[in-house]
Amino acid sequence: MAQVKISIVGAGSAVFSLRLISDICKTKSLAGSFVTLMDVNETRLDDAYELAYQYARDMKADIQFEKTTDLEKAISDADFVINTALVGGHDFLENMRKIGEKHGYYRGIDTQEFNMVSDYYTLTNWNQLSFFLKIANMMEKLSPNAWLLQAANPVFEGTTLISRKSKIKMVGFCHGHYALNNIIDALNLEKEKIDWQVAGFNHAIWLTRFQYKGKDAYPILNEWIEKHPNGNPPKNPFDDQLSPAAIDIYHFYGKMPIGDTVRNSSWKYHYDLETKKKWYGEPWGGADSKLGWKWYEDKLNDITTLTSKSAELLRKNKNIKLSEALSANFSIIPADFANEVKNFYDPSTLSGEQHIPFIDAIVNDHSNRFIVNTLNNGVISGIPDDVAVEIPAIVDKDGIHPEEISPSLPERIVKWYLYPRMMRMEWALEAFEKRNPDLIIEILLRDPRTRSYEQAKAVVDDILSSPFNQEMKKH
Amino acid sequence: MAQVKISIVGAGSAVFSLRLISDICKTKSLAGSFVTLMDVNETRLDDAYELAYQYARDMKADIQFEKTTDLEKAISDADFVINTALVGGHDFLENMRKIGEKHGYYRGIDTQEFNMVSDYYTLTNWNQLSFFLKIANMMEKLSPNAWLLQAANPVFEGTTLISRKSKIKMVGFCHGHYALNNIIDALNLEKEKIDWQVAGFNHAIWLTRFQYKGKDAYPILNEWIEKHPNGNPPKNPFDDQLSPAAIDIYHFYGKMPIGDTVRNSSWKYHYDLETKKKWYGEPWGGADSKLGWKWYEDKLNDITTLTSKSAELLRKNKNIKLSEALSANFSIIPADFANEVKNFYDPSTLSGEQHIPFIDAIVNDHSNRFIVNTLNNGVISGIPDDVAVEIPAIVDKDGIHPEEISPSLPERIVKWYLYPRMMRMEWALEAFEKRNPDLIIEILLRDPRTRSYEQAKAVVDDILSSPFNQEMKKH
């Protein structure tokens, strides 16, 4: 049993913070730990703190809290820093997207071949990449032995950048791989009898191993596809693991794309809303259409309203539980969150986020398997050592021990998908590191939406002069 | 002094054949050699043979000739096979280009980012790539110790393909690097006091070393550019080594692009004729516009007419020299060829083609420096071993000894130019090797000219069903 200081940067995302807090409360071997919630948005921080504090009290957990808007305070003497902050928030993303669309870049210039996820900004959000480095630099001074758990996007660029530029220990996390469960459910398989691996980059992972009861399970998947040539209709914009796009990508690349990889395809699936609908289903056309992304932002807003109203209720009435405060406002949000709240109170069910089990594995040598983002160092052949890969690994007190990827990633995936994606990462990082907007223009010259040099230059000039982009304005 | 059998495949290109023959005649250490001229076009072969035969008689050269339309005969017992054949000829290229343009692909689908040269077909001319392998396979059986000298495009794809698939000794040649002379002339430098290297891929080479009298010569180039910000106006469509495009590419990549590299740029310089004119000069807009390429094809046709008329004259009149037969028809062609014909008779001036000096270096250990295309094997760092690079090398009886590239190629060139170019090579070769047109469609999905999947599919379907494309039709 070890007492550690865990700091959550960007803790104003109340639900994400609650998930982590509930995991800490349920992990007895982390009892006595100290949690710092940090956010620059004081209102959202106060609300998140109120919820977390009440929840820990409900659970009678041995855990101490503080909240702060001061990054330095959060990082000082931390053992683990979990970064989930999106600098500028969704408003920033939408502003940049709007400028892009004005110049003919459907869904904005950050939307790129094999990088279509609508909040994964690699070109215009230098604020975000700067903030990643700021945290790492601060950690080197104020908590040099701490681990950074990188949850904020872009995880691929972020993990590569920080790992190259800093000596701190770090790992990147995403929950994309959980989408494998959708396949398991559809095929009616018993989860514990599956032997699986995924490998690739963040938002670019592939089901390289898929065995059921010791035998290749791909034939079962193929049979399902034969019976469901159009996949499954989506229940929400993110429900794409068995979409026509996923099946088509699988047929081209030879392995099933998992999680966000399905969204991160080529323009074939994304030219316009009609195309998106065809490949990701009606009515939204997937998460990254205007409709799908609105659905998601509305949900985020609803959660913020729920958080805020529930925090207000808790402040007024010190005698109610968090669950009561939340359920008083449940009308605001979709039913699945109500279910999650129930789970918060079930001591045997963790949230599914990997962060706290990872901390437990490191601190208490509770060895466990994770899907981590970490520098390749030879795990995926053909990919340079200093590029972050997303792979399965065993984690214990000695750190991260990547699994051997067997069978290895097919050449088709390495040469036609990972290489182009990796190059875009390298280009984006060089543009950022040299603070050179000409490199963004050059990237756009290789973009199918660009019709002329003048168009590419104009959109970059417009983004540079945006009052929202401090890092670019500095240049 | 060694007597060898040298076979020229595609010898119907009479001027190219004459250059090689004149080099052989002037290389005394190759006296007694046997030259086989091979071409499937009997008329053009007969004409080329007539010219070459008469020329050797004029020179009283100790050299024997044969002509044949039978590839097997040419390759049997050869010591060197020089392949310059373009399967299907220029008609094939223009047919494929026409289909491409019909579907919205300006200059045809083979015209690609970093591969804009109008006869460098990597996607649709499977006939050509098949022929490369046919020669290599035949050599393995009929002349297993011979060298293949690959002069036909695409040299990058061809050298990589043959080197990977065959055990024969081979080298790829191009004369792109001679364009360095244009820079030397413009800067008024003494050629023999220059220490230079170029490195990269075929049609993608960069002036990595440029020293004059022991000092960096790039400042002299920069000074010239400062005085000539718009470069030099072109004297012909191919006169682009000091074009605005070359200067702009140099400024982005940090080293001067040499020869065809200037044409092999991004779409920035190639969107349409107006754009091409801006970057490659008036009136043609460079060699790869409709106007520039017409200029080149007209010239090729004129040369064929000249060849044919001169051969006719020689057949009628056995007492005249080749130079007399040619000059009787000089009105047909531009003046520079008249000059070249004069050089044919100057024993101290070689043609400038590297093939015969290379053969002399191998056969007679006459060690010499060449710019060769050969598998990388560690010469350019960051590029896989099994990819053909174009680099300087010393050649002697023991073969090719690549120079160390120092200073090395800048990261900017490797990551932003060579990698994307290399990937296109890998994609094109996989499409060809698997005879999989779906891969051509996938390549087009990454092409800025593609507006929809349907467009890409339609153009590939149309190309597949073309009566000109036997290899694709087979599929």
Percent of chain B with pLDDT over 90: 93
pLDDT at position B473, please? 76
Look at strands A204-212 and A194-201 and give their pairing. antiparallel
Q: How confident is the model at residue B159 (pLDDT cuts 50, 70, 90)?
A: very high
A453/B268 Cβ within 8 A: yes
Length of chain B: 475
Please state the φ and ψ torsions of residue A201, each to the nearest 5 degrees: -110, 170
Lowest mean pLDDT among A32-41, A354-363, B311-320, B406-415: B311-320
Q: What are the pLDDT digits (tens) for B320-337?
A: 999 999 988 877 776 777
**Domain contains B200:** yes
pLDDT at position B336, please? 75
**In this structure, how many other beta carbons lie within 10 angstroms of the beta carbon of residue B233?**
10
Gap between the Cα atoms of B378 and B401, Å rounded: 12
B427/A423 Cβ within 8 A: no
Catalytic site residues of A? 175, 260
List the one residue out of B66, B50, B119, B109 whose CA is nearest residue B89. Answer: B119
Sequence-ordered strand ranges (E) for A135-228: 147-150, 169-172, 194-201, 204-212, 215-216
**Domain contains A128:** no
**Domain contains A201:** yes
**Domain contains A423:** yes
- Mean pLDDT confidence for A250-278: 97
Out of B260, B270, B288, B355, the active site residue is B260
More confident residue, B303 or B430: B430
Look at strands B368-375 and B388-396 and give their pairing. antiparallel
Burial of B123 (0-12, 13-18, 19+ CB in 10 A): buried
Number of A:B CB contacts under 8 A? 59
CB B178 within 8 A of CB B352: yes
Q: How confident is the model at residue B341 (pLDDT cuts 50, 70, 90)?
A: confident
Name residue A210's amino acid.
F
The residue out of B266, B289, B312 marking a domain boundary is: B289
Residue A38 has pLDDT above 90, yes or no: yes
List the one residue out of A89, A156, A171 whose CA is nearest residue A128. Answer: A89
Out of B175, B248, B396, B462, the active site residue is B175
**Domain contains A200:** yes
Chain B residues touching residue A267 (CB < 8 angstroms): 445, 450
Look at strands B399-402 and B388-396 and give their pairing. antiparallel
The residue out of A247, A270, A289 marking a domain boundary is: A289
Chain B residues touching residue A416 (CB < 8 angstroms): 427, 442
pTM, rounded to two decimals: 0.95
Q: What are the pLDDT digits (tens) for A72-122?
A: 999 999 999 999 999 999 999 999 999 999 999 999 999 999 999 999 999
From residue A241, alpha-carbon distances to A177, A262, B218, B399, B459 in Å are: 10, 7, 54, 55, 31
| SS3 assignment, position B117 | coil
- Mean pLDDT confidence for A419-436: 97
Q: How confident is the model at residue B467 (pLDDT cuts 50, 70, 90)?
A: confident
**Domain contains B190:** yes
Mean predicted lDDT score pLDDT of chain B: 95
Residue A1 has pLDDT above 60, yes or no: no
- ipTM of the predicted structure? 0.94
Residue B425 has pLDDT above 80, yes or no: yes
B438/A268 Cβ within 8 A: no
pLDDT at position B2, please? 66
Query: Which residue segment(s) compose the domain that A182 sits in?
Result: 178-289
B417, closest residue in chain A (CA to CA) = A423
Name residue A22's amino acid.
S
- Count of structural domains, chain A: 2
pLDDT at position A451, please? 94
B268/A451 Cβ within 8 A: no
**Domain contains B96:** no
Name residue B199's amino acid.
A
Mean predicted lDDT score pLDDT of chain A: 95
**Domain contains A316:** no
- Mean pLDDT confidence for B171-180: 96
Q: How confident is the model at residue A473 (pLDDT cuts 50, 70, 90)?
A: confident
Residue B1 has pLDDT above 60, yes or no: no
